[in-house]
Amino acid sequence: MAQIIEGAASSDGFGAAPASVLRPWLVMGEQATIDSELYALSRAIDALSWEWQAAWQYNQALWWLGSGIGESVAQVMHSLQQAGLNIRRALSSWGGAIAWLNEHGDPQKVGVYQPLCQHVLAQQQRLDQSLARLQMQVTLLCQEWGLPLTVVPDLSGEVADGRNA
């Protein structure tokens, strides 16, 4: 059973992006002239933090798979569901960062914001792909364990991250 996730983990390299993914945002933050830019930067930092939490939850699922403890199936599913939730939170935070700049940023800095928008789109695409892989892994595990697919958590739904975008 662990082969489904462990094989995917080694081939897909599922894990959080490195902190360097924030580099374009930090550059913008160094040149911030209004509070809205710093708030947008904080949303980008939140996104990376959610992603790191998702990776931690995913690694917890791997640990439970290898533990052989009786309640490991429930723990694996819970950890994977939490990983999916945190990926969605990261997606929301990335979107919130650019939405905030577009709505409250300095209209004179559109040229500075445009590359950040492209950066966010790339991060969201990467996270969408991670979420799709995670959903497939959960489905395969449910099939392997003989769980009805109705218990497969839907990892694709939207979720608020507790902040206003």
* Sequence ranges of the domains in the chain: 22-55+86-145
Per-residue pLDDT in tens (0 to 9) along the chain, 165 residues: 445 555 544 444 467 788 899 999 999 999 999 999 999 999 999 999 999 999 999 999 999 988 888 778 889 989 999 999 999 999 999 999 999 999 999 999 999 999 999 999 999 999 999 999 999 988 888 888 888 765 555 666 555 444 433
What is the model's pLDDT at position 11? 40
What is the model's pLDDT at position 146? 85
What is the model's pLDDT at position 15? 78
Nearest-CA neighbor of 119 among 32, 17, 13? 17
By the 10 Å C-beta count (0-12 exposed, 13-18 middle, 19+ buried), 138 is classed as: buried
**Is 2.40.128 the CATH classification of the domain at 22-55+86-145?**
no
Q: Rounded to 5 degrees, what are φ and ψ at 155?
A: -90, 0
